[in-house]
Chains A and B, each alone.
Chain A
Amino acid sequence: MVVSAALAMSESAQVAGLAIQSSDVLDSPRHFALVRVTHWIHTLSFFALVVSGIGILLAHPRFYWGETGGVGTPSLFDLPLPFLVTNPPYVGPSSWGRSLHFLSAWICILNGLPYAIFGLLSQHFRKNLLPMGSQLSGRSISRVVSNHLRMKRPSEEESQTYNVLQRLAYLTVVFLFFPLMIWTGLAMSPSVTSVFPILVTALHGQQSARTIHFFIANFLVLFLLVHVAMVCLAGFTKRVRAMITGQSAARKEPT
């Protein structure tokens, strides 16, 4: 899901690696071309997934745990939303919603694959997303947290690389939430689970899968909001330009 949306977060973002001299860093693109392209394709597919997901949800805004659940059975929780189907002619937003959801899920997967392969092969994940040893000391974590709380902007040097909070957020989204969304999505498919029943039994049932899918979708939307808020705080134009043209934000500034 938010695979590559993750990449733009940015008070800081850098790709070229830490060992490089800062003058090289300023001349090299802030984000790899493949990361930039997949980021924006992903942005579109993620919006489509959220909108269509809400469309599907509105057919039955109620959640259950276990295998089954429906009107007349106890629910886990009810959202304060109307049931937008279902008396004749049985048409609601879940109709186009499901078609759009699957189309955008395919785009999301086909876009995420090259991103993931590239991230592994180019060491992008290891160098830029995995927290560095020095970032994991208590002192350095507390400094980053307190900087965030005081809304202190990072220095130019600091913003050349992702800080530890960004790295952990991106890692969670890319390697935990995204795979879980695929898993819980597939676990709702009667056809897929006929071949791989463990996908659904491991989650305690089809309705549990649906509920988990909903929760993670909420986390992803929350991530997106924080991500966009951070981009705005860090300088919307500069950061968005860096994610479109690859131009280092620092280059255009007078030295």
Chain B
Amino acid sequence: MSQMLSRRKLITTGLATAAGVSGLGAAAILAKRYGLVPPDHGGIFGVGETMTYAAQRILMARHSLAREFNRSQISKVAPINGNPPQNEIYQRLLAGGFQDWRLTVDGLVARPTSFSLAELKRFPQRTQITHQACEEGWSFIAEWIGVQLSTVLNFVGVRPEAKYVAYFSIDEAWWDSLDMPDALHPQTFLAYGMNGQELPIGHGAPVRMRVARQLGFKSVKHLRQITVTDTLKNVGDGLGSAGPAIGYSWYGGI
């Protein structure tokens, strides 16, 4: 009797396993088709990253807005992580008051363009008072002033096959990317001002990315270039940002 039971158990377990495996296979194919697989999906941790990213892309409204705050809630202290770029290019730009700074926007766009700071400021100006949390655990609330990334992308004309927007810091070590829902999100800014002032050096002068629905590391400072692309395989080491190579995930919605 116990033998029969164990045989039945074996068959049920086998069937359940087979169903589970084929279910996972089907899920993987669907996930890939609907853009639910992050670029850093490899390895054991990639399983967790993929589940988090896919779950959030399915469950979260595409343009849900990060919370915005009152002026009175702006943090008196906005901690700064890391140093400004140490390279000669940045020092020269800084010395010239960023007069010679340009933001190149290229890739899958109709009109590749290089913007000066003054040109960026001519786009409709927007502000947001949002919470920025560092992956380390600390956070602050600040007012960010700038232009919506979507405004600039619309200006250069994004081609329909675009899937990601990669952006690069003057500090060669740093770059990152967003999928189109986050790139076109109304709170995704090219920020050139903070708390009523020009953007301070420590916070990314002259222009930083600001991604309100993700952790601070996605808000790359000291931008120099934005590239629209349909694949991240050929950008950097192909993992979507500088983060995965040193252990940080590509998706920072958490």
Q: How far is the CA of A201 from the CA of B69 in the complex (A)?
A: 12
Q: How far is the CA of A60 from the CA of B45 in the complex (A)?
A: 22
From residue B57, how far is it (CB to closest CB) to chain A in Å? 10
From residue A64, how far is it (CB to closest CB) to chain B in Å? 8
Q: Are A73 and B214 in contact (CB under 8 A)?
A: no
Q: Are B249 and A99 in contact (CB under 8 A)?
A: yes
Within 8 A of B (CB), among A186-218: 188-195, 197, 200-201, 206-207, 210
The contact of A99 among B49, B76, B133, B141, by CB within 8 Å, is B49
Stretch at the interface among B59-67, B107-115, B198-206: B59-67
Q: How far is the CA of A235 from the CA of B141 in the complex (A)?
A: 54
Q: How far is the CA of A106 from the CA of B83 in the complex (A)?
A: 35
| Given known A72-B77, A195-B64, A210-B137, contact A190–B44 (CB-CB < 8 A) | no
Contact partners of A104 in chain B: CB under 8 A: 48
Contact partners of A96 in chain B: CB under 8 A: 45, 247
Check: A100 CB closer than 8 A to any chain B CB: yes
Q: Are B66 and A103 in contact (CB under 8 A)?
A: no
From residue A55, how far is it (CB to closest CB) to chain B in Å? 10
Q: How far is the CA of A69 from the CA of B133 in the complex (A)?
A: 9
From residue B55, how far is it (CB to closest CB) to chain A in Å? 9
Q: Are B254 and A188 in contact (CB under 8 A)?
A: yes
Q: Are B131 and A190 in contact (CB under 8 A)?
A: yes
Q: Are B249 and A98 in contact (CB under 8 A)?
A: yes
Q: Are A191 and B131 in contact (CB under 8 A)?
A: no
Interface string of A133-153 (1 = CB under 8 A from B): 000000000000000000000
Q: Are A68 and B82 in contact (CB under 8 A)?
A: no
Q: How far is the CA of A233 from the CA of B134 in the complex (A)?
A: 44
| Given known A70-B140, A188-B254, A206-B131, contact A90–B67 (CB-CB < 8 A) | no
Interface string of A171-192 (1 = CB under 8 A from B): 0000000000000000011111
Q: Are B249 and A69 in contact (CB under 8 A)?
A: no
From residue A194, how far is it (CB to closest CB) to chain B in Å? 4
Q: Are A190 and B253 in contact (CB under 8 A)?
A: yes
Q: Are B64 and A102 in contact (CB under 8 A)?
A: no
Q: How far is the CA of A107 from the CA of B222 in the complex (A)?
A: 38
Check: B221 CB closer than 8 A to any chain A CB: no
Check: B79 CB closer than 8 A to any chain A CB: yes
| Given known A96-B45, A106-B51, A194-B64, contact A60–B213 (CB-CB < 8 A) | no
Most interface-central of A104, A189, A193 (chain B CB within 10 A): A189
- Residue pairs across A and B with Cβ atoms less than 8 A apart, 13 shown, are A62-B138, A68-B75, A70-B138, A73-B75, A89-B173, A91-B247, A99-B48, A103-B48, A188-B254, A190-B215, A191-B64, A192-B56, A194-B65
- 4 A-B pairs besides A86-B81, A206-B133 with CB distance below 8 A are A59-B135, A191-B56, A191-B254, A192-B253
Closest 5 CB pairs of A and B: A95-B247, A103-B48, A191-B253, A70-B138, A60-B137
Partner-B contacts on A (CB < 8 A): 56-57, 59-60, 62, 67-73, 85-92, 94-96, 98-100, 102-106, 188-195, 197, 200-201, 206-207, 210
Partner-A contacts on B (CB < 8 A): 44-45, 47-49, 51-52, 56, 59-61, 64-67, 69, 73, 75-77, 79, 81-83, 131, 133-141, 173, 212-215, 246-249, 253-254
